[in-house]
A and B are shown apart, each in its own frame.
Chain A
Amino acid sequence: MKILYSWLKEFIDTKLSPAEVANALTTAGVEVSSCRFLGEGLSQVVVAKILAQAQHPNADKLSLCRVTDGSREYAIVCGAKNMKAGDVVALAKVGAKLPNGAEIKKAKIRGEASEGMLCSEQELCLSEESAGIMILPPGTAVGAPLAEAIGLADWLLEVEITPNRGDCLSVLGVARELAAITGEAVALPAADVVEDGPGIDTLVSIDVTDRELCPRYSARAIVGVTIAPSPDWMQRRLSLCGVRPINNIVDITNYLLLEVGQPMHAFDLDRLSGPRIDVRPSGVPREFRTLDGAARKVLPEMLLIWDAQGPVAVAGIMGGENTEVLPTTRRVLFESAHFAPSSIRTTSRKLSLASESSYRFERGVDPAGTLYAANRAVSLLARFASFSAAAGVVDVGGGTDFSRTIPFRTARATQIVGREYTDAECAGIFARLGFSVSAAGQGVLSVGVPPRRFDVEREIDLVEEVARLVGYDSIPTTYPSSAAPDFSDDDRFAQVVEKAAACLLAHGFSQSVNLSFVSGKEWARHAVLLGFDPGDAIRLANPISDDTTMMRPHLLSGLLHNVAANVRRFIDEVRLFEAGKAFGRSFEAGHYEEERLGFVMYGHRLPEHWDGGNVPLDFHDAKGVAEAVLSCAGEGTFHFVPASSRPFLADGKAAEILKDGEIIGWVGAVRRELLAALEIPAAVFYGEFRLRAAARGSADAARYRPLPKYPPVSRDFSCIFPSDVPVGDVLAMVREISPEIEGASVFDVYTGEKIGAGQKSVAFRVRIQPSDRTLTDAEVHSIHTKIVKLLENRFGGKIRAS
């Protein structure tokens, strides 16, 4: 919200400078995000008068002006056409540096000297656009600095009002806040109305059927007015505060909205049927044309203003086209009401129609201030328009006391804030806020809160007023007394993620963070390939773009897009990992989301090196990474089996990772079709873990086993198998033959002509490590024999050498 310092000064004669006001308000919680001197850049711009205007001899579109600032004459070349001799204009002299950054220099334009520039409002940053140069009112003092002449020797404060402080959405509201901070007094400007017209009861009858949604409805009427532009000073203030001036009647309602925060509406009294007014909900669905020309679909519960025939306004939001003020309007009814905030907000949202008025009603407009606003409007209008004000006012609900009384314990403030407050200190703060205070027992105050403060309903709200106005700077700095911290599953899981990340970082993977949204279109297009069930997707009702319409069912697509983006930037080695959630629906549990860890690799096994000898990545590079991560961050034993249900991984080059029979991850080569869709030119390997499941289990530290004291024995076996024998199974079973077998590894695999089709040769090394003795030859031989039997009988192997 924009507030003019000069306007503020009409309500509070503060001793603070604009910058000090900004700082004081910010410190008390009404944040002033900027405080700008409006005359900035106008120091070399003066009021001048055009003495003569002639066509530029060498350019059709330019004219030559002779202007005076009262002390000397200037020759100016000007591109605008909207001026004539005698006009008073804004002259930027040579040396001026305008608010838009332009510097004025002495120039020759098409052969004619120009000693300055006649400015448009746009060039002076006074409006967004302008049709020609700025023409000032004829009486403006020639030679005066422009800033003074048009009221720009002023400051504009940009104030950020939090949603709880509807009472601050006006000059008056900010003045009251400033008064609470400084202890200075707020003075309301006069609002005396000379009632020289007919009685208001003879002009209109007003009822409010729904007093709950409209607790107060004040109105004044005027007759015999002529619609005309408002005076310049009012138009200027409205424009500077972001409201477009329209005519004297509309402008006065907008002026009051900005000044006292009371949204008002002006009806053309002659267009009101009856003439009468009622306030009640629509009752039935209907269409209603608001004064912006749009047809609105009004629902039964929406509150409307009615005349004798039908609706004339959507209460508190926007008036109707049928009764708006026209250039021919002579008689006007000013509405100044209070509507229930939640009703206005619901209606505004459902109609997708927000206005300055609805913005304020949603946040709470002072129900005690309606009549003052109506009086102030008519009183102020009388200064520049002639009319007769109707005698009397309508004020439905005018006798109601809307204020609240709240008991306040000073000790409660001390308990919450941790600073000692005294009764007197708190009472002083309440008094400056305009709250009434009386003692209500030992350490208890009874505080009467005016109805404009919608945010002060409870004792805690009063605690906040005390804390912020005494000042947060006065709160001491202490430390929470210690309670034994607990260590949760989530603490442990955070460590699991850190361990997995450390492992991947050490293997050359950088960390990626992707948005959790994916493109529903893209996933639908590749639904089969991605293994995606569209019915399982969590979709957004209001996505921000086409690329972000649903929550990702797994992490692949984000990482794959990362590879593609890096490849497009000529990066040919990409290793990335991401820790994040995957989402889906599950009808029993509502929805599921699960912590996942995904990694992706593209490029070569080794970093580029002068040694050469590099090869492209293959499945076993990715599997090795998966094994490393599980060894760092997992708990338990993991088995890799050929994948059966990961269509995004290439057939025959994909494994699922099992732990106790549960799939806790998958790894493999990404399907070529998915790579092609992203124009990724070479193989990509991908792994993903269900990280909590992988890490679930004993949190016990590893148990120490005594180191072997006796020499180990190694035996090598070379064996030919049918090519579909899973070597991992062979190794697992070999290890189980004897507890003395410490490990079994593969050191060579060969397929080719020498072996014959459908077969492979595998060489193992088995390491036998007794814990309590040196093995005898007979014992070693016995183990050896068992292994050979296993290889031959169980796996159909043919021993080549051992």
Chain B
Amino acid sequence: MARLAVEGKSAIEAAGTESELLELKGRYFGKKGAVSEILKEIVSLPVEERKTIGAAANEARQALQAAFDARLEALRDRERLAREGLERVDVTLPGRAPRIGHRHPVSQTMSEIISDFQRLGFSVRGGPEVEKDYYNFEALNFPPDHPARDMQDTFHVDWPGANLVLRTHTSPIQIRTMEAARPPVRVIAPGAVYRCDSDITHSPMFHQVEGFAVDRNVTMADLKGLLTSFCRMTFGPDRPLRFRPSFFPFTEPSAEVDIRCANCAGAGCRVCKESGWLEILGCGMIDPAVFGFVGYDPEEYTGFAFGMGVERIAMLRYGINDIRLFYENDIRFLSQF
């Protein structure tokens, strides 16, 4: 029996496949297998012998069974590995990707500006792009035949008697909003605007974001604080900025906001025309004459307004040097954003 155990064990361990192993199993454990034969013989032995030999035989049988189980597991393991080895994928092949589109850089920039101001408590308002002269100019304190109108080359609509223009700025939304609501108002007004001008930094259509707030005790210091926060959000916390007096017919006092030129860090270069500063927005305190047009009492209420060109900010942010690229919509351009 012991001999059988030793011999059987080495045979089991030599088995190369599962079927070979199963055949061995039959040879030892089957009805006519070696183990069964021995166990049958034991029955015929005398009781004393039967006890000792039986114990030994049982031990051998268990050893064989254990060897068999271990071998079976090893074989199956090897087989599984072999099988999975055949199915291993090339992880370096390109994935089956869904298509992903790209946001237009102007729209992206505009969207970020809007959400910055929404966080600062401003609410969105829109307005018509084909606008009445009254809203675009007159109520914003551009008298007819005033040189201030030359500041914005205007597209006029060919519609006799209608007195329509393509809005030259988003500021008409100030008038429309104030006509419809009493203070406090705090509005951000994005949209397309039009000026009769075309070169590498001017497009006949571009986008502006206008903002304004009217309430009791709104001051220019508040405007300065708000725009300082905005510039930090948009251009980074360490970018110096300055407020410089300027002129717009609908604000007084008026200012332009410049940020430090990032290209030369203020030393003066081609990008900033040697000034070290880049103009990014215009702003000021709403002129009392404008309040006159919408029936607000200028002694009771004060307000500020600001406006910025989205393309200009996008060009600065992304280093784009020709505004016309924005409107060609070349996929190779759009895919960069």
Contacts and interface: CB of A to CB of B under 8 A. Distances in A.
Interface string B208-229: 0000010101111110111011
Given A417-B219, A539-B158, A580-B192, A482 B121 contact: yes
A584 to B, nearest CB: 10
A217 B51 CA distance: 148
B231 to A, nearest CB: 12
A548 B156 contact: no
B229 to A, nearest CB: 8
Given A468-B253, A488-B125, A513 B106 contact: yes
B104 A516 contact: no
A26 B122 contact: no
A575 B317 CA distance: 26
B244 A574 contact: no
A362 B149 CA distance: 12
B96 A571 contact: no
A774 interface: no
A493 B191 CA distance: 13
A163 B247 contact: yes
Contacts of A513: 104, 106-107, 326-327, 329
Given A508-B100, A538-B157, A566 B186 contact: no
Interface in B141-173: 143, 145-148, 150-151, 155-159, 162, 164, 166
A187 interface: no
Contacts of B184: 483
A609 B162 CA distance: 56
Contact of A507 (B101, B150, B275, B331): B101
Interface string B51-78: 0000000000000000000000000000
B32 interface: no
A346 interface: yes
B130 A593 contact: yes
B80 interface: no
Contacts of B130: 538, 551, 583, 591, 593
A571 B331 CA distance: 8
A515 interface: yes
Interface string A522-557: 000000000000000011111111001001000000
Interface in B283-337: 285, 287-288, 302, 326-332, 334-335
Interface residues of B, number: 90
B99 interface: yes
A16 interface: no
B326 A607 contact: no
Interface in B113-137: 114, 118, 121-126, 128-130
A349 B147 CA distance: 11
A544 B222 contact: no
Contact of B157 (A493, A540, A579): A540
Interface stretch (A223-231, A249-257, A393-401, A473-481): A473-481
B38 to A, nearest CB: 57
Nearest to A483: B184
B42 interface: no
A565 B330 contact: yes
B81 interface: no
B253 A416 contact: yes
Given A505-B103, A580-B192, A609-B94, A475 B243 contact: yes
Contacts of B118: 491
B253 A467 contact: yes
B335 A510 contact: yes
B185 to A, nearest CB: 9
Contacts of A515: 203-205, 327
Contact of A480 (B99, B148, B218, B275): B218
Contact of A538 (B150, B159, B196): B159
B263 to A, nearest CB: 17
A623 to B, nearest CB: 17
B123 to A, nearest CB: 5
Contacts of B101: 504-511, 575, 577
Given A415-B302, A477-B224, A508 B288 contact: no
Contacts of A585: 159
State the main secondary structure of chain B at its contact with A.
Answer: mixed
A349 B150 CA distance: 11
A384 B145 CA distance: 41
B285 A416 contact: yes
A540 B126 CA distance: 22
A371 B11 CA distance: 130
Nearest to A550: B158
B98 interface: yes
Contacts of B186: 480, 483, 485
B198 interface: yes
Interface in A466-505: 467-468, 472-473, 475-483, 485-488, 490-491, 493-494, 498, 501, 504-505
Contacts of B26: none
A480 B222 contact: yes
A29 interface: yes
Given A490-B125, A511-B107, A540 B145 contact: no
Nearest to A345: B145
B37 interface: no
Nearest to A584: B130
Given A416-B302, A541-B158, A610-B93, A485 B122 contact: yes
Contacts of A517: 204-205
Interface residues of A, number: 96
A41 to B, nearest CB: 16
B244 A458 contact: no
A590 interface: yes
A581 B191 CA distance: 10
Contacts of B147: 163, 341, 345, 362-363
A504 B218 CA distance: 41
A486 B334 CA distance: 35
B204 A505 contact: no
A349 B144 CA distance: 12
Contacts of B40: none
Given A542-B155, A607-B97, A29 B123 contact: no
A127 interface: no
A545 B218 CA distance: 44
A461 interface: yes
Contact of A512 (B229, B287, B329): B329
A516 B213 CA distance: 29
Contacts of B114: 494
A31 interface: yes
B244 A29 contact: yes
B18 interface: no
Contact of B164 (A418, A463, A475, A591): A591
Given A464-B252, A487-B123, A477 B221 contact: yes
Interface in B178-210: 184, 186, 192, 194, 196-198, 203-205
Given A34-B275, A342-B145, A544-B198, 13 more contacts: A164-B249, A417-B220, A418-B221, A472-B255, A480-B226, A481-B215, A483-B215, A508-B98, A540-B166, A543-B155, A565-B329, A576-B331, A607-B97
The 8 closest A-B pairs by CB, nearest first: A508-B99, A418-B219, A29-B245, A418-B221, A162-B247, A468-B245, A511-B104, A464-B253
15 contacts: A163-B148, A163-B151, A345-B146, A460-B288, A464-B253, A468-B245, A473-B243, A480-B186, A480-B226, A494-B114, A501-B103, A507-B101, A512-B104, A542-B155, A609-B94
Interface of B: 93-94, 96-104, 106-107, 111, 114, 118, 121-126, 128-130, 143, 145-148, 150-151, 155-159, 162, 164, 166, 184, 186, 192, 194, 196-198, 203-205, 213, 215, 217-222, 224-226, 228-229, 242-247, 249, 252-255, 273-275, 285, 287-288, 302, 326-332, 334-335
